[in-house]
Structure 1
Amino acid sequence: MAETWKDNLIYKLIAILLAVLLWLYVTADQNPPLEKTLNLSVNYENLLDNLTLTSKTNVVNIKIRGEQKIINGLGLKDFEARVDLAQVKLGQQALPVIIGNPLGIEITDVFPKEVSVNVDMIAERQVPVTAALLGETAHGYSSFKATVKPSQVVIRGPANILDNLEEARVDVNLNSAQSNLVLNLPIKVQDKLGNWFGADTLNIIPNTVEVFIPVVQDTPSKTVPVKPVIDGKPAPGYQIARIMVEPETVKILGQFNKLDTIDLIQTLPVNLTDVKENVIREVDLSIPSGVTVLYGTKVKVIVQIELSPVQKNFDIPIKVYNSKSSQKVLVTTEAVKVNVEGKKDIMDNITFQDIIAFVDVAGLDFGTHELEVQIDAPGDVQLKNIEPQRVKVEIKALEEKPVTTTTTTTTTTG
């Protein structure tokens, strides 16, 4: 009985083993191991805000191994290739690629295992924008200087690129234009080596600008100055120091006989009544009939206002310069009346001691002479008037004083 039970147990174990082997065979036959190659985009992480990558590897290849049914159910989204930039330094360097993969999948190879990156500081520059005109207008039409708004853009990017920037530019194709062009165009940037960069490499703020190009039918033109017209006067105690206009000239179009009669273009009046500070106004031009002004009909008028100068009167005694020791010089007028002018804060501190009136008798012989009175005053004070301007000077020989001789008598008592 015991032997029969043992024989049955052996048969049962053999049957179980055969079943397991059969299951493994069937499983391996229906779901064999599979290898596959994938191309993964590399994600760069943890880069400091003031740094940027100027060169990097975008794709790595990986080989994976696993059961066929698992691998067939996976896609690129189930894998990750990343590079940690938390500890990078400036310049070129190699960093390891970190692969993230699902459970049950073996990564058998990564190529490359390290990627080369170049790290640079982020810099910022403000750059003027120019417009390059390409092509030609229609026959019988002409284009004029382009106006770009805004005229400057801010560019942020790698310092080594910004250090070598040559220009920021937009290209305008005239395309046989017969009328004014108003276009919104993307900006491109060129370095000193002729390399071009766009918004994909640099952060250009804004990355587009509005370009206005006057296109007119060919007609006679003339460039004339702009004359600001001023109305009213500043407040008492103030005066106009300087008047400027931007632009200083404009180009006008018209028939020859009309252009010949125009030497300047005036602005509409700028009112300065009782003003006490600088005035900046955008005003229209007063355009004569029969002519057209290019680039707009408004100009900027800038008027600088300052305190009116203060005048003072002094009686200044006349000094004599360069007389000889053998001469006696007599000036018929002892003092002159001097009128000087300057800024109030300076004139408040000026006294008669700061001003010198003198005549120069160098090289003059004995006799009577009429000489100009000269004034020496501080450099920031202006001489307005002197009265009299000339005085009579008499030069005499200096009288010698008689020499007194004292005789001393000595008496000797014997």
Structure 2
Amino acid sequence: MTFLLGNLRLKLLAVAAATTLWATVAYTENPTQERTFQLSGTQIQHTAVPVGLVLIGDLPPVAVTVVGASDALRNFDPNASLRLSANFSGLHQGQQYVALVVTDTDPNTHLRQQPASIAVTVDQLATVTATVTVDQRGSVPVGFHEVSAVIDPKQVSVAGPKSLLANIDAYVVIDLDSHQSFFQDSPVVGVRDQKKKPIQGLLISPATVTVKVTIQADAVTEAKVAGWTLTGQPAPGYRVSNVTITPLEVSVTGLAATLDTIQQLQTDPVDISNATADVVKTVAVRLPAGVQDVSPKSVQVHVFIVKIPQPSP
């Protein structure tokens, strides 16, 4: 009997030793560890801010330390397992701390360390009207120029923290590169402060505007011959012997493609009805369609009138 009891004690000691050895080996292969996760403030679920108030800036990031076995932490997804929540119903204007509740929903891990609160800054909610300006990027190709950029609507409504809305500038960005003619775009409206630093988190209405940009080719100036036109007939027994025009050429300004189609510029007609002597008139140069300017704007036309020789009797 004594032998059996002694043998039993040895067996129990062996089982205990084996259990301890197994636990040691298991811990060595899958030790308990901890990891700290940095969570974005956007993951904080919170109640609504009181009416008439608004948060300034984004919610701060939150560092949470989780403890668990190595295997559990290896498969741990902080975005799926950690829940962050805060109650914003009691917020007031100014900077303050709000209690933060962190919950770990993974049964294989637990929390070691997390912040008890987060700092937030609250301001009055205000709305202002801002005139939209255009920031032009790039440039039109050589030989072209911008005529106009029309914004519709010209103003937008901007809502946000009152302290951020003083002296703001609403703007859109338009890229001019490679454009050689009219184009239209609907860029998103941005808001920036006096130092040209963009302000995020504001509510802009409408969020986009229409910008119509007119681009034209540059005008060129070329010399063109000025022509003349006569109306009527000299008096009986008289005829036109010659016509001169001074100056013979005028400077015409317009698009190159338009000027290529013009061989001669017309002038107002000169009436020589019943003339018995030279007719000298200053007449206007007529501006063809598509031509921007002509210089000089008038020329002098000299019509030489001579008597028709009568045959000798």
TM-score band w.r.t. shorter chain: 0.5 to 0.7
**2:212 matched residue in structure 1:** 212
Provide the residue aligned with 2:265 in structure 1: none
Structure 1 spans left out of the alignment, 5+ residues: 221-252, 256-288, 293-414
Residues 196 and 7 of structure 1, relative CA distance in 2, 3 Å threshold: closer
CA distance in 1, matches of 2:162, 2:40: 26
Q: Secondary structure at the match of 1:55?
A: coil
Question: What is the deviation of 1:6?
Answer: 5.0
Q: Which structure's CA Rg is the greater one?
A: 1
How far 1:140 moved relative to its partner?
4.3
Distance 1:24 1:174, change over 3 A: closer
Q: 1-side partners of 2:56 and 2:180: how far apart?
A: 44
CA distance in 2, matches of 1:13, 1:136: 90
Instruction: Give the 3 Å change call, closer, same or farther, for CA 63–166 of structure 1 in structure 2.
Output: closer
Specify every segment of 5 or more residues in structure 2 that has no aligned partner in the other structure, as ranges: 221-253, 259-287, 292-313
Contact 1:148 1:211 in 2 (8 A): yes
Q: Match of 2:48?
A: 47
Q: CA RMSD in A?
A: 3.6
For 1:138 and 1:8, the matched residues in 2 are separated by 101
Q: Separation in 1 of the partners of 2:211 and 2:93?
A: 39
Q: Distance in 1 between matches of 2:102 and 2:40?
A: 11
After superposition, residues 338-349 of structure 1 pair within 5 angstroms as none
Question: How many positions carry a matched residue from both structures?
Answer: 225
What is the one-letter code of the residue matched to 1:73? N
CA distance in 2, matches of 1:137, 1:148: 19
Q: Measured at CA, do residues 21 and 166 of structure 1 come closer, stay the same or move farther in structure 2, by a change above 3 Å?
A: closer
Using the alignment, how far apart are the partners of 1:133 and 1:16 within structure 2? 82
Higher relative contact order (CA 8 A, sep 6+): 2
TM-score, scaled to structure 1: 0.46
CA separation in 2, counterparts of 1:67 and 1:191?
Answer: 50
User: Structure 2 matches for 1:125-140, cutoff 5 A?
Assistant: 125-140=128-143
The aligned runs of 1:285-364 (5 Å cut-off) are: 290=289
Q: TM-score, normalised by structure 2?
A: 0.59
Deviations 1:85-141 (A, max 9, x none): 23222211223433221334232233x554321112332233332324455444444
Q: 1:291 to 1:34 in 2, by over 3 A?
A: same
Match of 2:172 in 1: 170
> Residues 158 and 16 from structure 1, CA distance in 2 versus in 1: closer, same or farther, beyond 3 angstroms?
same
The change in CA–CA distance for 1:28 and 1:152 in structure 2 (over 3 A counts) is same
Residue 153 of structure 1 aligns with which residue? 156
What letter is aligned with 2:38? Answer: N
Q: Do 1:128 and 1:167's aligned partners in 2 also have CA atoms closer than 8 Å?
A: yes
Distance in 2 separating the partners of 1:94 and 1:14: 57
CA contact (8 A) 1:66 1:106 kept: yes
| Contact kept in structure 2, 1:131 and 1:169, CA below 8 Å | yes
Q: Is the 8 A contact 1:41 1:81 kept in 2?
A: no
1:42-95 alpha-carbon deviations (Å, 9 max, x no partner): 333113264332134542223222222322231222223444323222211223
Are 1:99 and 2:99 counterparts?
A: no
Query: How far apart are 1:12 and its partner, in Å?
Result: 5.1
